[in-house]
Amino acid sequence: MIGMDSYMNTYLDRRMKNLIQDYDLATENDLGDFESRLKSVEEGVMEIESFETSTETKLDNLEERLKKLKEARK
């Protein structure tokens, strides 16, 4: 009967691995470094927000320069 137990354990392990992959479930290992991954994502978001702010400022400046150039052509 030991052979059957070993077979069933192997089968269940394989099925659980497939279910985790198919449904993209989190495992304990995934949750172990969750905080560090979350911090990395938050830092990336902050960099994007900073980029958006500086880009908006530059775009506003360019639009203002274009407006002045159009006025000067008249």
pTM passes above 0.85: no
- The domain ranges of the chain are 1-30, 33-74
pLDDT in tens, the chain (74 residues): 567 788 888 999 999 989 988 888 888 887 888 888 899 999 999 999 999 999 999 999 999 999 999 999 87
pLDDT, position 28: 81
Q: Are 19 and 25 in contact (CB under 8 A)?
A: yes
Do residues 20 and 27 lie in contact, with contact meaning Cβ atoms separated by under 8 Å? yes
**What do you get for the CA distance between the two ends of the chain, in Å?**
96
Per-residue pLDDT at 1: 54
pLDDT of amino acid 2: 64
Q: Which two tokens stand for residue 52?
A: 């958006």
- What is the reported pLDDT for 57? 96
Gyration radius of the chain's alpha carbons: 28
Tokens representing 9 are: 């354990």
